[in-house]
Each structure stands twice: as structure tokens, then as C-alpha cells.
């Protein structure tokens, strides 16, 4: 793939590496960004590993080095990602507990000073505890690993701590639950920054087939029918996911997949368990759901933006996939947050 660097938008990412860093908290989300940089050229995630020490120990005993100093200033639009830490790392300790406590205090002081408006804070797992100590979660919806929920409530008594969530987004605060949920959160961020097609491609690479939304216990509709390895069908699905509202025909998608319309229909059913038209409708309803929940658009505008010919057609397609009407879906997140 040829990368168009001239028109590429840069997103600065600062991964804060604490002492005893949970290695998967660092590697999982950053692997998402690495792959996202390779599969598209609209957005580039420029990653910096930063901390109060040039080297620290990790949860599995591996030493992490070449860590940049905590910067004095952060550019606007930065993502500041804070990894969690292991209470009992594998192998010999890299530092004394007193030294680790000093380094953690330096991170907290820096977070308090550097993360202002226009900078998004992303905490992975118990990284939320460092953010809470800096006062950055006060008054926000947030989550953390289930084993550190009570500690987060103690450190941030005015925060609205949500349990049983993969991740929570509240303005410029994005927090994830335990360990691998950091991958789910970073896929969510990639989808917002670079589009669903990019997030889908990264998820397939990571073999993350069961990606879910932060408050959704079900499989993400954007990944339904993706648990296969047929490249031609994935190409057709990527095209639909990139622009669900387009008037897709089997003939047009067959050209995308470089096969005949008849063969595409057969392969689509075989590998996804649904017809081409069913898949297109599911992607349109997934887009419509985001518009219903995330905007104040009326249902006629939602139907039009999602590619439906009429509100009536939209509601029929919606009712085939959802037990509650769109108006109920719009109210549900607010009711859940008040609970």
C-alpha cells in the first residue's frame, strides 16, 4: 500500500509506562495503532513511550527501555494513554517499592499538570488509578479492572464508576476495564479517528472477532459475519462497512470482490451465514443505531443518512434486528447512566 503522507492527519499518542507495567496493557493497544497505520493513509498515530524513568520493569519480568522523558507540553489533540501496573510482577523486582512509589507520584504530578482541555486521557485497566490520583476522573463516567473498582471509587469519590463495562467514554476521558479490554477501547478510538473499515481490518489481523461496544454485551454489529478468512468476501464487506448508505448491488460488490455475482452470493452465504442484502441492511442498521444513540437527528434524517428509502423501510429493517424501537434505544444509555 502506498502511503500518502502529504494529506495524512497526525494524531500524537503518548503511552505513559509506569513501573511494573502490565505488558499487555502497553502492547495490545499499541499493536492496534501500529496496524491501523499500515492499513490506511488518512490518519497516522504517532506513538511516543514516555515515563519518569528511562527504563522500568514489566509485569512479566521483561525490562522496558528507551522510554522518553515526560514532556513539558502536549500538543492539542493528543491521546495520553496510561497503562496499568502489576501488583506482583513475575521474577525479580526491577526497583524497590519506594522507588516505584516515587515514579508513580511523578506520573500523577505530570498528569495533573499536562492533561488539560483538548487532550484526551485514555486509561487501560488499573491505569485509571493514576488518573484518579491526579483528579482527572472527578465528575466523569469511568471504569477500571474489576479488582480495582473499589480503589477507584475511594480515589475518585465524585466519579461515576461503571462496573461490567468493557470501556467508558465521557468527553475527553476514555477508560477501559481489565487488560484485553484496552484492545477493545483502542479499536473504538481507531474507528472514530480512521473509520470502521480500518478498525475492522485491525480487528481481523488481531483475530478479535468478538469485539463489543463499551456498554453493549453483544457482538458488535460491525463484526457480524466476519469470523471467516475468505479475502474476497472481506473485501466486499469492507466496502459496505465503509459506506453502508450507498446503493450497493450484488453486481457492484462482485466487482469489488473480483468474482461473479452468482459466485459472490454463494460464497457470502457460505462464509457469513447471510445473504448480501441481509448484510447490507445490518450495516445500515448499525450506522442508524449510532446515529440514534449519538445524535439528536429525527428518524427521517437517520433513515436517509443510513441509506434507507423511507422511514417506514428503516423501521421495518430495525424491527427485524431489535426488540425495542429506535426511540427506546435513544433513551436507554441515559437511563443506564442515571442508574
Q: Is the pLDDT of residue 285 over 50?
A: yes
Q: What's 25's DSSP letter?
A: H
| Mean pLDDT value across residues 170-191 | 92
pLDDT at position 214 over 60: no
Q: Residues spanned by CATH 3.40.50.880 within the chain?
A: 9-199
DSSP string covering 125-157: TTHHHHHHHTTTTTTSEE---GGGHHHHHHH-T
Please, are residues 150 and 176 in contact by the beta-carbon 8 Å criterion?
A: no
The set of cell numbers assigned to 186 is 483502542
Question: What are the grid coordinates assigned to 90, written together?
Answer: 513475575
65, 54 contact by CB (below 8 A): yes
pLDDT at 200: 83
Residue 218 confidence class, pLDDT cut points 50, 70, 90: very low
Give the span between the Cα atoms of 77 and 130, in whole angstroms: 21
Tens-digit pLDDT profile for residues 244-265: 999 999 999 999 999 999 999 9
Q: Which residue has the cell 469489488?
A: 256
Summarised one tens digit per residue, pLDDT across range 128-139 is 999 999 999 999
Architecture of the CATH domain 9-199? 3-Layer(aba) Sandwich (3.40)
- The model carries a pTM of 0.73
What pLDDT was estimated at residue 122?
Answer: 98
Mean pLDDT of the chain: 91
Question: Quick one: pLDDT at residue 212?
Answer: 52
Contact 51, 16 (CB under 8 A): yes
Grid cell of 20 as nine digits: 511494573
pLDDT, one tens digit per residue, over 59-118 is 999 999 999 999 999 999 999 999 999 988 888 778 898 999 999 999 999 999 999 999
Reported as a pLDDT band with limits 50, 70 and 90, residue 210 is: very low
Residues recorded for the chain = 339
Question: Cell numbers 465528575 label which residue?
Answer: 139
Residues with Cβ < 8 Å from 113, sequence gap 6 or more?
none
CB neighbour class for 206 (10 Å; exposed up to 12, middle 13-18, buried from 19) = middle
With a CB cutoff of 8 Å and minimum separation 6, the contacts of 216 are none
pLDDT at res. 335 = 53
pLDDT in tens, 105-119: 999 999 999 999 999
CATH superfamily to which 224-338 belongs: Homeodomain-like (1.10.10.60)
How does DSSP classify residue 323? S
For the beta sheet containing 167-170, the strands, ordered from the edge strand earlier in sequence to the opposite edge, are 68-69, 43-51, 9-16, 79-82, 120-123, 173-176, 167-170
Q: How much is the pLDDT for 28?
A: 96
Query: How much of the chain, in percent, has pLDDT values that exceed 90?
Result: 73
Amino acid at each position: 500500500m502506498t502511503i500518502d503522507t502529504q494529506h495524512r492527519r497526525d494524531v500524537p499518542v503518548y503511552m505513559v509506562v509506569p513501573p511494573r507495567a502490565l505488558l499487555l496493557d502497553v502492547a495490545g493497544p499499541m499493536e492496534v495503532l501500529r496496524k491501523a497505520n499500515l492499513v490506511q493513509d488518512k490518519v497516522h498515530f504517532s506513538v511516543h513511550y514516555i515515563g519518569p524513568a528511562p527504563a522500568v520493569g514489566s509485569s512479566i519480568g521483561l525490562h522496558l527501555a528507551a522510554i522518553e522523558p515526560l514532556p513539558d507540553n502536549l500538543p492539542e489533540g493528543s491521546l495520553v494513554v496510561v497503562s496499568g501496573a502489576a501488583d506482583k510482577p513475575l521474577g525479580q523486582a526491577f526497583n524497590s517499592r519506594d522507588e516505584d512509589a516515587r515514579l508513580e507520584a511523578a506520573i500523577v504530578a505530570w498528569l495533573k499538570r499536562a492533561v488539560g482541555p483538548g487532550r484526551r486521557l485514555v486509561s487501560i485497566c488499573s491505569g485509571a488509578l493514576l488518573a484518579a490520583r491526579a483528579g482527572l476522573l472527578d465528575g466523569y463516567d469511568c471504569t477500571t479492572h474489576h479488582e480495582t473498582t473499589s480503589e477507584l471509587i475511594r480515589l475518585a469519590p465524585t466519579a461515576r464508576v461503571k462496573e461490567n463495562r468493557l470501556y467508558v467514554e465521557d468527553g475527553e476521558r476514555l477508560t477501559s476495564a481489565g487488560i484485553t479490554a484496552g484492545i477493545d477501547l483502542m479499536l473504538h478510538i481507531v474507528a472514530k479517528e480512521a473509520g470502521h473499515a480500518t478498525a475492522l481490518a485491525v480487528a481481523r489481523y488481531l483475530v478479535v472477532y468478538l469485539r463489543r461496544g463499551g456498554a453493549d454485551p453483544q457482538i458488535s454489529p460491525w463484526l457480524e459475519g466476519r469470523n471467516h478468512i475468505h479475502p474476497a468476501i472481506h473485501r466486499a464487506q469492507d466496502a459496505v462497512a465503509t459506506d453502508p448508505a450507498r446503493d450497493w448491488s450484488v453486481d457492484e460488490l462482485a466487482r469489488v470482490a473480483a468474482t461473479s455475482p452468482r459466485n459472490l452470493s454463494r460464497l457470502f452465504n457460505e462464509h457469513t451465514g447471510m445473504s448480501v442484502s441481509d448484510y447490507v441492511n445490518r450495516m445500515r442498521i448499525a450506522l442508524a443505531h449510532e446515529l440514534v444513540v449519538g445524535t439528536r437527528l429525527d428518524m427521517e434524517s437517520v433513515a436517509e443518512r443510513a441509506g434507507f428509502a423511507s422511514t417506514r423501510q428503516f423501521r421495518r429493517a430495525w424491527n427485524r434486528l431489535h426488540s425495542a424501537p429506535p426511540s427506546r434505544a435513544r433513551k436507554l444509555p441515559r437511563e443506564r447512566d442515571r442508574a
